[in-house]
Amino acid sequence: MKIGNFKINDKSEVFIIAELSANHNGSLETALETIKAAKRAGANAVKLQTYTADTMTLDVHKDDFMLKQGTIWDGKYLHDLYKEAYTPWEWHKELFRVAEEEGLVCFSSPFDFSAVDFLEELDAPAYKIASFEITDIPLIEKAAAKGKPVIISTGIAGKEDIELALETCRRVGNNDVALLKCTSSYPAPIDEANMKMVRDLAERYNVISGLSDHTIGNTVPIVATCFGAKIIEKHFILDRSIGGPDASFSMNEQEFKDMVTAVRQAEKAIGEVDYNLTEKQKSGREFSRSLYIAEDVSAGEVLTDKNLRSVRPGYGLHPKYYIEILGKTTTEDLKKGTRLKLEHVNK
């Protein structure tokens, strides 16, 4: 998979996405400054959300359309929430331009057909399908048919939802699909993160896997990296004090920077499966144990647990010979501190 100039595969670094979402708080200037801050914090990409309140839901104040699932937005009507949170479409061109200037990939989550068409006009390099849209098969088909990478969050998905979404992408000839483990709670409890799913998604469905994270802090992204995540998405905000629908579970610049540093360190710590010793490890064997003469002995004297010991350093005979050699006699006089060799022992 390639998004912009970034290749994403088993050997690549984690592709780290700063999710702008509603964290512009209605200000284009704030949105642009957030993109610049994301670059300073070490993000590889910034992701937008492309919708309007009317493309998301109906302007209806009925009980069906009120949030009441224990979210931070409970009591609000869907249309009102999305009207507050949406990123104006007339901003997108400028947001894409500034992101490119900053060296960031910029793409978006479309929420209806018109958003896909609009993002195509901006030459968006990829499409992100949000968790709650994984059942919108026509939308997935529309986006996947553009032939660009498709990243799908699985926050509300069962196996059948995931399989249908993948089947839809592949049916239109698009195999550039990544699946992100996501917990669709805001913020998400850390004990519901289930990071073992990151590895399972990759192995079960033969795709790149990753994490769309709503937990507080960077613990879950680090664990995801250790389980093979190649994409990590985290909500990003200039300053939580500016408020907004997503502020409470978004990282500020320093927190995001700390997360990026931790993820990069985790990548280095994971390393490779390699049983060959480095030169440093080889030299470290000098501090391992080996067999030394512990008391002066004369030629023909019996070696015992008093005059023969396994001690540091490691220049003498391997300790595996210790039991075999005990009770045998020496071939010559040996001083305390002599490295034992096989030729010192009568067979």
Which pLDDT does position 280 carry in this prediction? 87
Tell me whether residue 76 is in a domain.
no
- 259 with 284, same domain: the answer is no
Residue 264: is its pLDDT beyond 90?
yes
Which pLDDT does position 285 carry in this prediction? 86
Q: State the residue range of the domain holding 122.
A: 2-51+86-270
Residue 70: is its pLDDT beyond 80?
no
Nearest residue to 176 via CA among 224, 238, 230: 230
Q: What is the DSSP string of 221-259?
A: HHHHHHTT-SEEEEEB-S-GGG--TTGGG-B-HHHHHHH
Tell me whether residue 64 is in a domain.
no
- 212 with 290, same domain: the answer is no
Paired residues of 302 in beta bridges: 329
Which pair of tokens denotes residue 68?
A: 């009441």
Which pLDDT does position 73 carry in this prediction? 77
User: Which range, 30-44, 182-196, 237-251, 262-276, has the best average confidence (pLDDT)?
Assistant: 30-44
Which pLDDT does position 182 carry in this prediction? 94
Which pair of tokens denotes residue 174?
A: 């698009």
- 195 with 296, same domain: the answer is no
> What does the DSSP 8-state code read for residue 345?
B
- 151 with 213, same domain: the answer is yes
Task: Count CB neighbours of 101 within 10 A.
Answer: 11
CA dist 111 → 90, 114, 131, 139, 197 (Å): 16, 8, 11, 7, 25
Interval 134-171: pLDDT, tens: 999 999 999 999 999 999 999 889 999 999 999 999 99
Residue 284: is its pLDDT beyond 90?
no
CATH of the domain at 173: 3.20.20.70
Which pair of tokens denotes residue 110?
A: 């479309």
Q: Are 223 and 18 in contact (CB under 8 A)?
A: no
CATH of the domain at 340: 3.90.1210.10
Residue 129 CA to residue 127 CA, distance in Å, equals: 7
Which pLDDT does position 243 carry in this prediction? 85
Tell me whether residue 157 is in a domain.
yes
- 117 with 169, same domain: the answer is yes
> On the CB side of 250, how many CA atoms lie within 13 Å of its CA?
26
- Phi, psi dihedral angles at 156 (to 5 degrees): -115, 15
Nearest residue to 46 via CA among 252, 234, 250, 262: 234
Give the mean pLDDT of 250-254: 97
Which pair of tokens denotes residue 343?
A: 């030729």
Which pair of tokens denotes residue 243?
A: 């408020």
Task: Count CB neighbours of 11 within 10 A.
Answer: 8
Residue 186: is its pLDDT beyond 90?
no
Tell me whether residue 129 is in a domain.
yes
- 237 with 303, same domain: the answer is no
Which pair of tokens denotes residue 4?
A: 């912009």
Tell me whether residue 81 is in a domain.
no
- Residue 185 binned pLDDT confidence (cut-offs 50, 70, 90): confident
| Range with the poorest average pLDDT among 70-84, 146-160, 242-256 | 70-84
Q: What percent of the chain has pLDDT over 90?
A: 86
Tell me whether residue 248 is in a domain.
yes
First and final C-alpha spacing in the chain: 64
- Residue 120 binned pLDDT confidence (cut-offs 50, 70, 90): very high
- 266 with 291, same domain: the answer is no
| Range with the poorest average pLDDT among 86-90, 117-121, 219-223, 270-274 | 270-274
Q: What is the DSSP string of 50-92?
A: E--HHHHS----SGGGB--SS-TTTT-BHHHHHHHH---GGGH
Tell me whether residue 74 is in a domain.
no
Nearest residue to 340 via CA among 293, 287, 302, 304: 293
Tell me whether residue 160 is in a domain.
yes
Q: Are 157 and 184 in contact (CB under 8 A)?
A: no
Q: Which of 270, 301, 333 is the last residue of a domain?
A: 270
- 249 with 207, same domain: the answer is yes
Residue 31: is its pLDDT beyond 90?
yes
- 135 with 216, same domain: the answer is yes
Residue 62: is its pLDDT beyond 90?
yes
- Residue 74 binned pLDDT confidence (cut-offs 50, 70, 90): confident
Q: Which of 252, 270, 288 is the last residue of a domain?
A: 270
- 111 with 188, same domain: the answer is yes
Pairing between strand 2-3 and 6-7?
Answer: antiparallel
Q: What is the DSSP string of 274-328?
A: --SPPHHHHHHGGGS-EEEE-S-B-TTPBP-TTTEEEESSSSSB-GGGHHHHTT-
Interval 315-346: pLDDT, tens: 999 999 999 999 999 999 999 999 999 999 99
- 43 with 177, same domain: the answer is yes
Give the mean pLDDT of 280-291: 90
64: left (phi over 0), alpha (psi -120 to 50) or beta: alpha
CA dist 134 → 73, 138, 140, 141, 165 (Å): 21, 10, 8, 11, 7
Q: Are 184 and 160 in contact (CB under 8 A)?
A: no
Q: Which of 222, 241, 270 is the last residue of a domain?
A: 270
Which pLDDT does position 244 carry in this prediction? 84
Pairing between strand 6-7 and 290-293?
Answer: unpaired
Q: What percent of the chain has pLDDT over 70?
A: 100
Q: What is the largest CA-CA distance in the chain?
A: 102
- Residue 257 binned pLDDT confidence (cut-offs 50, 70, 90): very high
Count: domains in the chain: 2
Give the mean pLDDT of 34-59: 97
- 138 with 284, same domain: the answer is no
